[in-house]
Structure 1
Amino acid sequence: MRHDAQGTSTAPRDAGTGPLTRLRSLPLLRNVPGDLAASLVVFLVAVPLSLGIAVASGAPLVAGLIAAIVGGIVAGSVGGSAVQVSGPTASLTIIVADLVHTYGWRVTCLITMLAGVIQLGLGAFRIARAALAVSPAVIHGMLAGMGVTIALAQIHVVLGGDPPSSAMAGITELPGQLLDSHTPAVAVGALTIAVLLVWPRLPGVGRIRLLPAALVAITAATVVATLAELPVERVDLPDSLAAAWSGPLLPERADLHGVAIGALAVALVASVESLLGAIAVDRLHDGPRVNLNRELIGQGTANTVSGALGGLPVAGVIVRSTANARAGARTPLSAIMHGVWIMVFIALLATAAELVPMAALAALLVFIGAQMVNLARLRDLRRHREASVYVVALGAVVVFGLLEGVIIGFAVAILVSLRRLTRVTVLTEEFEGRWHIVVQGSLTFLGVPRVAHVLRTVPNGTHVDLDLHVDFMDHAAFESIHAWRLDHERTGGTVDIDEVHENWYERRSRQAPPADKTAPSGLSRWWAPWQMRGFDHGDPPSDLLLSGAREYHASTAGRMRSLMSRLAHRQHPKALFITCADSRVVPNVITASGPGDLFTVRNIGNLVPRHGAAQPDDSVGAAVEYAVTVLDVPSVVVCGHSNCGAMKALMERAGTPDDSELAHLGRWLGHGEASAARAGRSRLLGAPAPEAMRLLSQANVVQQLENLLTYPAVRRRYEEGRLELTGMYYDLETAEISVLDPGSGEFTPVPAAELAEAPPGPAPRPPVPPQAPPPADTDPAGSARTQDPSPAG
């Protein structure tokens, strides 16, 4: 059987084309055994949950079962998700309970119908993805707030009382309810919760664990209450669906406004939960992805039918959907059949349902409400600095109600986003009477007070270098800076403004139209080679250099002028950086450093000849002594890299004749013989070529750190704790850096987050032994022949 581009099965032309073949090609019949098995699992989950949600909503119990049937059959047939299962959901419980209390059940059915019509309109206009613009922190905070509210209300039922009118009333009335609890109801509720907690954790129960915990808990509580003849309130179902039907009723004229708001609230909450749930459950299967607009139309159709039949509002339920996917469902047939099984249950087993204690259903809802407060989700939001939105939305839903809580949570989410988008950082530095101020971020009226406060601290008559490293500047920010500049220059001071990106200040000064918001990352791919930026068209190298210099003058020199004028007469680098001359290794790029940060020494193989070697290298020795003694750098870094031609030449040196054209190279590589000895030539010969190169390159870094300690100035400062030695290894294939671990002596990767947060500088001391091995300075000129004419590469 072939598959077309959309993944649908197509039979070959010469295959059978009888009715059975055509029937099996239907989307709903591709996974019949798995879907039927999954539908039974979902059915067992749905029945107790539907009854419990109906209890919590103050609706007739049969309304929960009607909604489950409609959600399965209608939403499953029309919707756009392969495995999502719809039905009555706990997230709508608070809204429905308030609507039932305010307008009565029959008007609530009309509200459910209207909500479905609104969803149909949203799906028809194909704006389903707009619902995803709501912050997940608000959604999860809202769900957690509803979970707390449900748990507070139903715990009173478990204790033998009536559910309170609000969450706050539930909190204030709870102490009295605890003192006046009914023992039989409490026993049934405690047993239900105990089974819910223990059942999923039972070891070695095999296939029995496929039974949902909710069904097992309700069944256990029912059996115990029946056998013990406990005097508890039980489920009361009507004799038939026809007798239970109570269709929608038009509201009074005075209630039209409230009915409209209620319908909109039900539609929005049901839509957002269904769409987010459909996207989430897509991760659990490898079938077709959800069509959001079609799913919204399916939800709207189901709500319209459910309201007309006297059922609760319908939405995608993540608990049932997850159970469905994990049980093996891959098509909507499972959701449809779970609705059919509920119809069969009502027709044949309604009497058995009337044995279920109401306290058991209430305990089930308490457990579900507690699970809706997802602490793992809160920890995840904390990492994204959105926990405040979650907590505010949760608290507002509990204190003020669902609609008010969502509005408050949404407002807080907008404020948090505005704070991020308009965050501004102001850095100041004063040197020899010259002030340097750097403003970074988006400079809007919200950041004006912070910037103005810093500018007011600048003494009169001083020279100020103001760097505007901003991606946006509004009129209020421009006026504030411009007014300060005029005042400062009036008092005899001077102001030099450098704009790192778009010339916001300059354009406003010329009264030119402002530019759009720019990216704060500087030039696009400034670190890329010439050929990737359109320079290299076969031009001579001199032309390429001139082209690069022209770009530098056009786009960068002006922005660097203020910085370089401060560095022109002094340098205080943070590290001596010794690395290979390889053209692919760019120290300032891989360390995210700038002018004045690194005192760099580059040579073939990042070698450091030992102090007092028979053939010393005055260039490297002079750089080491100058950096440590005169510049007083606090750190020395030796950085090797993968695919190093010098290391390849070291591995191939043995028995290779001398070459007069590479005589200097041969003598120079003699300083690396100790690195090859450290790595072990036999070990290198027995390893694959890439692994051998890595081992030798990393051993070479450790060896050069030891060689550094042969210099008296380095040794003295290292032992005094004033100088730190760091080993680094740069993998060209992955563009990732590893750092020598002092404890293990191994090179460990540096996570990207740490690279972004931690600038290069002093690092822990490497495991350099106090006694270095004998210098490798014996006959370095011998056998330097290599097949690679460019060992630095």
Structure 2
Amino acid sequence: MRNDAQGAPPGRQEATSPLPGTHTDRKGIAADVGASLVVFLIAVPLSLGIAVASGAPLIAGIIAAVVGGIVAGLVGGSVVQVSGPAAGLTIIVADLIMTYGWRVTCLITLLAGLVQLALGAFRIARAALAVSPAVVHGMLAGVGVTIALAQLHVVLGGAPQSSALANITDLPQQIAHNHTAAVAVGVITVAIMFGWNRLPAIGKVRPGMVPAALVAVGTATAIATMGRWEVETVALPASLSEAWNGPMLPESGQWHGIALAVAAVAMVASVESLLAAIAIDRLHNGRRVQLNRELCGQGAANTVSGALGGLPVAGVIVRSTANVRAGARSPLSTILHGVWILLFVAFFAHVVELIPMPALAALLVFIGVQMVSLAHLRNLRRHHEASVYLVTLLGVVFLGLLEGVFIGFALAMIMALRRLTKLTVVTEERADRVHVTVHGSLTFLGVPRLAHVLRTVPEGAKVDLDLHVDFMDHAAFEAIHAWRVDHERTGGSVDIDEVHEKWYARSSTNSAPVAKTIPKGRWWAPWDMRRESGADLAPNPLGLLTAGAREYHAGTADRMRSVMSRLAHGQSPTALFITCADSRVVPNLITASGPGDLFTLRNVGNLVPSHGSSDGSVGAAVEYAVNVLRVPSIVVCGHSHCGAMQALSEQTHQGPEEAQTTHIRRWLAYGQGSLRRAGADRGELAGLPAAEALRRLSQANVVEQLGNLMGYPAVRERVESGELTLSGMYYDLETARVHLLDAGSGEFSPVQSVQDVPDPVPHPRGGAAPDQPLDESSSGASSRPSC
């Protein structure tokens, strides 16, 4: 697997395995030990809480946490992922315990682990990733809602009902009639969980350095103990013989249900673990996860956990994220956290037994609510998969986990088939030509729609047919070719331009289509992708540049000559475009601009030092653009996954790399205002997922630099006179979408593509075009670019 650290912030900790005996090795071990203690403090209350929600013996959660840490850490393929009892399996385990009893559930866990070991051994881990993330996130959200509804009754001093609907129905009565000490314990726990990471930092000490779960449960325990409140507390076995409550064979008529249960546990645990491992890979720069080995590690952990009487084990995102943020560099931190749990329970069981059960229930309520991620919902909404998420969530809550997942998966498959058959055809008349643009997958299912539109083209017209299609089958080719022959026979002309693949061209010359690739000569494709598609590009950097220039001379230079000869006499750019030096951000590409349109200023983090600062290079560019070129607009463009913003937020440049990052650290000092604007000094970024925190900081950085621009007298004067406008822009690398800053709301909103604009497109014969684009999945302009 390629380890691409492009855009990684300088000085960021890497999860590596240094050579033994070195200074780096000792520092890495110290970091792992510190991280293991942080994860240990989070894992103990979470493991007990998940056991409570599952209806399993409390010691089963501790066993799963110990085994998940030690066994999965030793065998697994992820450097920093932490495994243990997972909330996503709670509903399945609770149902299995009710149906078969605890000891048979242990057998199911053991057999599910063996299934995972077999899947990993046969190297089919990636098949688990075929499940739509919308289904997975919807499943986890549904589990979270179910847990929260059930445990809320425990917090209120009552008992959970048998279903989510019954819990909802009985909730008003619980709220009205139960006001016991249990309620006070629960309220204290939830209040601390909610507010802990929002407390202001004291100097360099941030509240987030101590896990909120530990503070909440510890405070509730201390208050309940000192106040002698009558609440139910944790009860652990008195001896090892009592603790072991391992697997048992089921009755003879139950094996069919057991087989289905084994498959369900293995599937959910595998998918959740692999998706979590991939997500955690985005947080560190070390070795990427080996998915098949990680699946074997999860299988080994479940086999041992089931044999010892523990809950099912899976990779867990909360503890893994805490592990990375605490500085973990190797699996040693995961292994040690399991060791600390074992030692703590062995020697301090009496402390654990002081924990009130309502505190664990309140902790689960908070965690369950957090599992409903609005960030995931927003991302899925952009990809038009929010309906899958919501249907899965509601199905899990009201029908059951397997039923909800099945319904969600079925809906995801239907939507995928719909996208495969989706075709958008737009026609418009320009001067003496008819322009027809086709977006989507051109299969036999879309032939009737395409044929209907093509029949409306007037006889003898000159036609430009742009095919923005990622696939064309033989039926579609036959339909287009037959229409083209007939149209040209009546005196018309047809110019076909294929933007992505030469499906029509290959079919018309009787050559079989090749596998999908980026076509040679597509300037927007990276060199390595074009090289894979067969483009004649040399493997070394100088050779790539030379070959790229050769390709430019062969296909573009002659057409550019007239444009460049005119621009050679002077420039009059439309905007000063200030953006990051990141190689993945291409200003002319994301603005569809050409030579002479943008006066571009690039630096690390798209920073604009304030007027009068020691750095004069940015000021020189601003003054030249405003005073000499008289640009009417200045745009500051930030982007997602920005290494500079990541380094700015972490503020860590230690060890042997310090001398190599002197200039970077000095430059990033100009970004301190962005940190304050994003609320980092108030702890507002600490409790957020890493990607969300980085997005907020990157967007706040754009706003901050616009403010710095107003500190330049020339800029302020022209802005106040109405001759100059300042704009903010944000580019999301994952979605390849541009967002603009709304000056009124201060929010960044995605720019609508041509296909998203609902206005009807004029048709050559009057009225609206027969088919309008339906969503943003079809991209590209509807006009033919001119050179």
TM-score, normalization by structure 2 = 0.64
Please show how residues 259-298 of structure 1 align to structure 2 within 5 Å: 259-298=258-297
**1:216 alignment partner in structure 2:** 215
Counterpart residue number, 1:103: 100
Aligned to 1:391: 390
Larger radius of gyration: 1
* CA spacing shift, 1:743–1:314, aligned 2, 3 Å: farther
Name the CA distance, whole Å, in 1 between partners of 2:50 and 2:83. Answer: 13
Matched, 1:230 2:195: no
Q: Which amino acid aligns with 2:52?
A: V
**Structure 2 counterpart of 1:91, one-letter code:** G
* 1:158 positional shift: 1.6
Matched, 1:515 2:513: yes
Tell me what 1:138 maps to.
Answer: 135
User: Residue 500 of structure 1 aligns to a residue in which SS?
Assistant: strand
Q: 1:124 to 1:425 in 2, by over 3 A?
A: same
| 1:575-614 equivalent positions in 2, closer than 5 A | 604-605=569-570
Structure 1 partner of 2:585: none
Farther-moved stretch of structure 1 (450-459 vs 114-123): 450-459
Instruction: Report the counterpart of residue 55 of structure 1 in structure 2.
Output: 52
Q: Shift of residue 68 of structure 1?
A: 1.1
2:4 alignment counterpart: none
How far has the Cα of 1:59 moved from its partner?
A: 0.7
SS of residue in 1 equivalent to 2:348: helix
Q: Secondary structure, in 3 states, of the residue corresponding to 2:78? A: coil
Q: Which residue of 2 aligns with 1:240?
A: 239
Could you tell me which of 42, 59, 72 is aligned with 2:39? Answer: 42
User: Is 1:194 matched up with 2:185?
Assistant: no
Letter of the 1:183 counterpart: T
Q: Which residue of 1 aligns with 2:760?
A: none
Give a deviation string over 1:128-162, Cα, whole Å, max 9, x none.
Answer: 33333433333222221211111111112222222
SS at match of 2:424: strand
Counterpart residue number, 1:80: 77
Describe the shift of the 1:124–1:456 C-alpha distance in structure 2 as closer, same or farther (beyond 3 A): same
The structural deviation recorded for 1:343 is 2.2
Shift of residue 430 of structure 1? Answer: 4.9
Corresponding residue for residue 327 of structure 2: 328
**Counterpart-to-counterpart distance in 2, 1:48 and 1:527:** 49
2:426 aligns to what SS in structure 1? strand
CA distance in 2, matches of 1:422, 1:488: 26
Q: Which amino acid aligns with 2:236?
A: L
Q: Which runs of 5+ in 2 are unaligned?
A: 1-14, 527-533, 538-549, 574-593, 601-614, 637-714, 732-736, 740-750, 755-787
**Structure 1 pair 212/754, CA: closer, same or farther in 2 (3 Å)?**
closer
Shift of 1:359: 1.6
Cα deviation 1:573-614 (Å, max 9, x = unaligned) = xxxxxxxxx99977879xxxxxxxxxx965622599xxxxxx
State the alpha-carbon separation in 1 of the partners of residues 567 and 135 from structure 2. 53
> Structure 2 vs 1, CA of residues 334 and 534 (structure 1 numbering), >3 Å: closer, same or farther?
closer
Equivalent position of 2:157 in the other structure: 160
Greater displacement, 306-315 / 226-235: 226-235
State the Cα distance separating 1:217 from its structure 2 match. 1.7
Look up the match of 2:166. 169
* Separation in structure 1 between the aligned mates of residue 111 and residue 516 of structure 2, nearest angstrom: 45
Aligned-pair CA distance for 1:485: 7.8
SS in 2 for 1:439: strand
The aligned counterpart of 1:668 is none
Structure 2 distance, partners of 1:252, 1:124, is 30
Distance 1:449 1:8, change over 3 A: same
The SS at the match of 1:251 is coil
In 1, Cα distance between the equivalents of 2:210 and 2:622? 54
AA aligned to 2:38 is V
Secondary structure in 2 aligned to 1:440?
A: strand
Change beyond 3 A, Cα 1:448–1:156: farther
Q: Which amino acid aligns with 2:110?
A: M
- Is 1:274–1:315's contact at 8 Å kept on the other side of the alignment? yes
- How far does the alpha carbon of each residue in 1:717-769 deviate from its partner, in whole angstroms, 9 at most, with x for none? xxxxxxxx99999xxxxxxxxx998946379798775699789xxxxxxxxxx
| Alignment correspondent of 1:358 | 357
Report the Cα distance in structure 2 between the residues aligned to 1:83 and 1:503, rounded to whole angstroms: 44
Paired amino acid for 2:235: D
In the TM superposition, what is the alpha-carbon distance from 1:88 to its structure 2 partner?
A: 0.6
> What is the SS of the residue equivalent to 1:108?
helix
Q: Is 2:92 aligned against 1:92?
A: no
* Native 8 Å contact 1:468 1:497 kept in 2: no
What secondary structure does 1:200 align onto? helix
Shift of 1:267: 1.7
SS in 2 for 1:44: helix
- Shift of the 495–159 alpha-carbon distance from structure 1 to 2, 3 Å rule, reads farther
Q: Which runs of 5+ in 1 are unaligned?
A: 1-5, 12-20, 536-546, 557-581, 590-599, 609-636, 644-686, 706-724, 730-738, 760-793
**Does 311-320 or 299-308 show the bigger shift?**
311-320
Q: CA deviation at 1:434?
A: 7.7
1:425 Cα shift?
2.3
The 5 A counterparts of 1:585-664 are 604-605=569-570, 639=596
Q: Which amino acid aligns with 1:605?
A: G
Deviation at 1:457, TM superposition (A): 4.8
Contact 2:42–2:214 (CA under 8 A) maintained in structure 1: yes
The alpha carbon displacement at 1:302 in A equals: 0.9
Structure 1 pair 435/186, CA: closer, same or farther in 2 (3 Å)?
Answer: same
TM-score by length of 1: 0.63
Percentage of identical aligned residues: 57
Equivalent residue letter for 1:467: L
Q: What's the secondary structure of 1:270's corresponding residue?
A: helix
Q: State how far apart, in whole Å, the 2-side matches of 1:231 and 1:243 are.
A: 26
* Larger CA deviation: 385-394 vs 82-91: 385-394
CA distance 1:87–1:282, shift in 2 (3 Å): same
Aligned-partner Cα distance in 2 for 1:33–1:522: 50
Pairwise CA distance, 1:700: 5.6
Q: Distance in 2 between matches of 1:638 and 1:293?
A: 48
* Matched-pair contact (CA < 8 Å) for 2:32–2:330: yes
Per-residue CA deviation, residues 69-91 of structure 1 (Å, 9 max, x unaligned), is: 11122222222333322111111
1:155-212 deviation line (CA, Å, top 9, x unaligned): 1222222222232332333334334435332222112111212222333564876432
Letter of the structure 2 residue corresponding to residue 48 of structure 1 = P
Contact map agreement 1:639 1:701 (CA 8 A) in 2: no
Distance across 2 between alignment mates of 1:388 and 1:281: 26
Three-state SS of the structure 1 residue aligned to 2:379 is helix
Q: How does 1:210-609 map to 2 (within 5 A)?
A: 210-430=209-429, 436-455=435-454, 457=456, 463=461, 465=463, 467=465, 469=467, 470-478=469-477, 496-501=493-498, 512=510, 515-516=513-514, 524-525=522-523, 604-605=569-570
The answer to whether the Cα contact below 8 Å between 2:425 and 2:436 also exists between their aligned partners in 1 is yes
* Residues 123, 507 of structure 1: alpha-carbon distance in 2 compared, 3 angstrom cutoff: closer
**Alpha-carbon distance between aligned partners in 2 of 1:607 and 1:173, rounded to the nearest angstrom:** 70
The amino acid across from 1:96 in the alignment is V
Partner of 1:129: 126
Tell me: CA distance 1:83–1:377, structure 2 relative to 1, closer, same or farther (3 Å).
same
Aligned to 1:447, what secondary structure does the other structure show? helix
Q: Deviations over 1:396-449 (max 9, x none)?
A: 322332223333333444444444454422122357998554433321244335
Counterpart amino acid of residue 189 in structure 1: G
Tell me the secondary structure at the aligned position of residue 441 of structure 1. strand
The answer for the alignment partner of 1:709 in structure 2 is: none
What SS does the aligned partner of 2:275 have? helix
Q: SS in structure 1 opposite 2:162?
A: coil
Question: Aligned-pair distance for 1:473?
Answer: 2.4
Tell me if structure 1 keeps the 8 A contact 2:38–2:326: yes
**CA displacement at 1:362 relative to structure 2:** 0.9
Q: CA separation of 1:177/1:465 partners in 2, compared to 1, >3 Å: closer, same or farther?
A: same
Look up the match of 1:780: none
